[in-house]
Structures are given as structure tokens and as C-alpha cells.
Amino acid sequence: MFDIITGQDEPLSRLMTMKKNGAVPHALLFTGIDGIGKSLAALSYAMALNCKAVEPESVPCRQCRSCKKILGETHPDILPIRPSGSIIKIAQIRDLCQKLLIKPVEAAVRVVIVHDTHTMNPESGNALLKVLEEPPDRTMFILISDQASDVLPTILSRCQRVSFSPLSRGSIKDLLIQNGVDAHQAEGVSAMACGSLGRALSLCEKKPNRPDPLVFRRFLFDELVSLIRGGTFDVLSFAEKFSQKKDQTLNVLDILLSFIRDLIVHPFDKDTVINRDIADEIENISGSMTTASLLCMADLITAAHQGIKANASVRLCLETMAIQIKRI
């Protein structure tokens, strides 16, 4: 049913069982990091619930009128909601509620897909809650979010949760090679991707003025080492360099966190190092840091990541993080 989604057998099998048993709940919450197939699974499930194919094993067929409309995002009863700017606004939910007053145009099951559910503020969340409490006829909701703890508790309590896992490093490496990436780059990028195929593919995209991902990672490692070693390192310049784009900043913090993780685990188990192709450099730095100070850095990077995700000032979060790391 979901043959183009990789490495998510468990959640996809649960979804298939719900459909087969006629027990599809009116609200599902798909959780898991970005770039592992949650949105694609939501679209595929909407197709499966409305596919006109006769043979159950070929559902969704991607060929029938309904599947084609959903794939082309022209189906009148598949209603996506995405953040407008950085949040899902109450006006968007009010607009959705107006549409839901009318019966589905042609779908057996109308599907509302809410992307980045965690970007709803309490007002838009409360507005959505009303329709979740009394779902309209022939209508279901698929809410998508990185993690359940970021979703408003009142919304969470109305949904059945389906968890999607980060992909294994080996799976990402194999998929990159299948997509034409050379083996050396696939090895390094699979370490940087932190389980996200979407991030891995994005890192491998060739764009003007974008450095090679492995060169960029090396640059980040050197920046972290400079930050750790203090000296004349300019904290404000560090924050300025990486505060241009929110998504890019989050990616940078994930990579920094992977270095810290490697520095922590290296003395105990060299085989579990993620950034294996720079293992020598990691060994050199690892010996000069205590586990306690590395854990403290990991906490500071995680706090900056959480702050930025919650729409705090990117620049301020980075400056605070860098100043505190320098003080360790």
C-alpha cells in the first residue's frame, strides 16, 4: 500500500490494519522527525481510503480518478492546512470549519491533513478542537508533528497516535547511493542526516553558493572546536554566521549535537561514533574534554534548538548558547 515509503513498516502496518478492520479513527496524529515520510504517508492514506481500485492489494492504485486528483492536489475533499508564516492562524481553522459545514463533494472519506500541528497557538488549537470533538460526517483528520509533546494537550487527547521512526544510517546511505550520490558522500551525509532522508537529500542538492556538505560539516566541527577552546573566538560572529535561516540553523545545531554525542561516546565505544570519517579528529578533541562538560554543552545546544523551534529569536538563542558554551 505504501511501497514508496521506506523504513516505516510498523506504523504503515498499523494504518493498513485499521483500514482493513474498518476501524479508522476520526483523528490520527503522525509523529516523528522531519523527512521520514509522514506527509507522504498521510497523502497515501487519504488515497487508500478513497481509491476506486477493485483489487484490495493494489490500493492505493495511483491511477484511478480519485488517486490522481489527490496526487495532483486537486481533490476537493483533501484539505491540507500548513502554517501561514510561522504559525497556523485561527483564520485558517475558521475557514476550514466553514468548509466542513458542507458535505464532502465526492470523497468516501474527506481527509483534513494538518502539517506542523505544533505551530498552532491556543486560539487556533481550540478552534480545531471543536471539530475534533464533533467530527463532521465522512471526515477524518491526520495531524502531523515532530513530537507529541509539542502538540496542545487538548488536541493530543482527541487523537490516536502513530509514531514514525528515524531511518537507520545504513538505509539512508543505500537510498542516497540509489539516487546517484557517490559512496563517500553518502557515508558522510548519512551521518549528518540524523535519521532523516529528507534532510539527507536536501544536503546533497547542488545549489549555487552552497558548499559541499562534507566540507560544511568540517567547517562546523572546526567552529565548535574554536568555541570549546575559547581564546579569541568571537561569540557574536558565531551567532551571526548561523542565524540567517531558521531551518538551516536547526540543521547546524543537529550537526553540532552529533559531534558532541561522538565526543561523549568515543572513549567508551569507538564503534558507535556517528561521524566515522572524522573519527581521528574526534579522538583528538575527546581526550581533552570531561563528560560532564560535554553533557552540559549538549544541554545548551538542545535548549537553543528547542527555543528556535518554539519561534524564539534565532540570533538570541545562538548568542546565549555560544556565550554559555564558552564559559564551560
Q: Choose the binding region for Zn ion from 47-55, 91-99, 152-160, 179-187 (rule: CB under 5 A).
A: 47-55
Cβ distance to Zn ion smaller for residue 64 or 197: 64
Check residue 120 and report its DSSP letter.
B
**Contact 34/146 with Cβ under 8 angstroms?**
yes
61 interacts with Zn ion by CB under 5 A: yes
**In this structure, are residues 181 and 213 in contact, taking their beta carbons and an 8 Å threshold?**
no
Considering only the stretches 54-62, 90-98, 238-246, 299-307, report the one whose residues sit in contact with Zn ion under the rule CB under 5 A.
54-62
Q: What's the Rg (C-alpha) of the chain?
A: 22
Q: How many CB atoms lie within 10 A of CB 231?
A: 8
Minimum distance from residue 48 beta carbon to Zn ion (Å):
8
DSSP letters, 197-263, are: HHHHHHHH---TTPPPHHHHHHHHHHHHHHHHH-TT--HHHHHHHT-S-HHHHHHHHHHHHHHHHHH
Cell triple for 12 = 504503515
**Beta-sheet strands, E only, within 7-138:** 27-31, 78-81, 110-114
Q: Which is nearer to Zn ion, 67 or 253 (CB)?
A: 67
Minimum CB separation from Zn ion for residue 60, in Å? 5
Q: Is 191 in the site for Zn ion (CB under 5 A)?
A: no
Q: Which is nearer to Zn ion, 60 or 213 (CB)?
A: 60
Please state the closest distance from residue 99 (CB atom) to Zn ion, in A: 23
Examine residue 51 and tell whether it contacts Zn ion (CB under 5 A): yes
Q: Is 71 in the site for Zn ion (CB under 5 A)?
A: no
Nearer to Zn ion by Cβ, of 67 and 167: the residue is 67
Closest separation in Å from C-beta 14 to Zn ion: 21
**Alpha carbon of residue 157 to chain centroid:** 22
Q: Which listed residue (1, 27, 42, 67) binds Zn ion by CB under 5 A?
A: 67
As a whole number of angstroms, the distance between CA 231 and CA 67 comes to 60
- Determine the distance from the C-alpha atom of residue 200 to the mean position of all C-alpha atoms in its chain, rounded to a whole number: 12
60 or 195: CB nearest Zn ion: 60
Task: Tell me the site size for Zn ion, rule CB under 5 A.
Answer: 6
Give the residue with the Cβ less far from Zn ion, 7 or 60.
Answer: 60
> Phi/psi class of residue 182: alpha, beta or left (left: φ > 0; alpha: ψ in -120 to 50)?
beta
Q: Which of 43, 46, 48, 64 binds Zn ion (CB under 5 A)?
A: 64
Q: Contact positions toward Zn ion, by CB under 5 A?
A: 51, 53, 60-61, 64, 67
